Amino acid sequence: MSRVDLYRHIIRQYFRDASGKVAGMTDDKFSLYESSRTDSGFLSGNLVVSSEILSEEIQPLTDSGVLEDSAKSIQNQSAFMRLDSGVDLGLSESFSSLSLKYPGLNDLSSNKKEPISPVEVNKPEEQPPWELYFEQDEDGDTHLHTAIIQGFLEVVLALIRAAPRPHLLDTPNDDAQTPLHLAVATGQWRIVRWLIVAGAKPSPRNLQGDSPLHICTRTGDVQSCKAITDPVTQHERDALALSYPPQPYQQCQLDQWNYDGQTCVHVAAIYGHVDVLRHLVWYGADINAREGTRGYTALHYALERVDESMAHFLLYECHKLNPNVLTYGRRSVLQLGFSVPSSLEETLRSRGVDSPYSSEDEDDSEDELPYENTNIYQSSIIQASA
């Protein structure tokens, strides 16, 4: 079975609304749907998103306006071919040709009987098992991975509904990317929300240790960030029409490290996405969290990048910010040699941040070795290593 045929099967079987009725996907309407719809591209080959069928929020799906307009067009054409009496010209011509071809058909007294051809009974179309939908290819991708990458929204929604258990939605490929990773990486926040509502795990790690939240934080995708972190409502579960009971909502791990020791707060500060960081802080992310290698906080990264807008947001809008957090080397943000604007430096000092030259640093400088002794010490190390 080809991929297109499989997608046709899955859409016919699982593209349903909350009442369990197939939304515009009966056999009679499927051909009309294929010929007249604005599709997402899995039949035509284009990557066009269908805005006729899928709204911005998860709502029970109904027949699109494209189907109604096409049906009206067909009715108008049919009416044009009829007389005032309502007799269809095409139909009457067909009967005329039929009577000429078979003269004895209208002769009731005729003893001749035409042989009746056996009626072919169409067997019901056999549906592939659900296991086929979630088989992995040589790269570890399932059909759900492929449909997300190519932007086939109808197929994605049908595959989510076809899953008998939510753990199938967390299947990683060979790069440890789950469908949620790919939905976020391609910026498709609607699919992100469907997966979260369906019970997909919100914080899996890929090969770099990045969760989906790390990815949308890096790209500045606020919509996907909200789709992951917003609590799931019962209305959304009902509208998605899943084939299994509703799953308990899994909290997103806002302070999870990737393999570079960075939380999403650090990633947002590094890439300067204030809107994403504001959303993370609003949901309770630790604004004072230290990353795993140097102990930097979001404020350290903002001042290192000389990002004044980010620094202003942290200092004046984040009420839980502690500017006195030290690095693992026990240095404040003013003791790391960053080029801090004078206005921000005054604000930091007024909030008790240690200045670059504290009394302890001055005492330590007096105990440093003279220049000559330092050179002798370094030369002895070079000789020993030789």
Please give the pLDDT value at position 277: 97
Domain of residue 381 covers: 271-386
Q: Is residue 182 part of a domain?
A: no
* Residue 166 near residue 197 (C-beta atoms within 8 A): no
Burial of 276 (0-12, 13-18, 19+ CB in 10 A): buried
Residue at 175 is within a domain: no
323 domain residue, yes or no: yes
Residue 307 lies in a domain: yes
| Of 257, 184, 258, residue with least CA distance to 216 | 184
pLDDT in tens, 126-182: 556 778 889 999 999 999 999 999 999 999 999 999 999 999 999 999 999 999 999
At 91 the pLDDT is: 39
pLDDT attached to residue 11: 63
Domain assignment present for 211: no
- For residue 323, the domain's CATH number is 1.25.40.20
Q: Please tell me the pTM assigned to this model.
A: 0.66
Let me know if residue 4 belongs to a domain: no
Asked, for residue 16, whether it belongs to a domain, the answer is no
| Cα dihedral sign, 278-280-285-286 | negative
pLDDT value of residue 131: 81
Give me the residues of the chain with pLDDT under 70, please: 1-128, 357-386
Number of domains in the chain: 1
Residue 126 and residue 1: Cα distance in Å, rounded? 12
Query: Whole-angstrom Cα distance, residue 230 to residue 160?
Result: 19
Please, what is the angle between helix 264-271 and helix 274-282, to 10°? Answer: 160
Angle, alpha carbons 304-307-309 (nearest 5°): 145
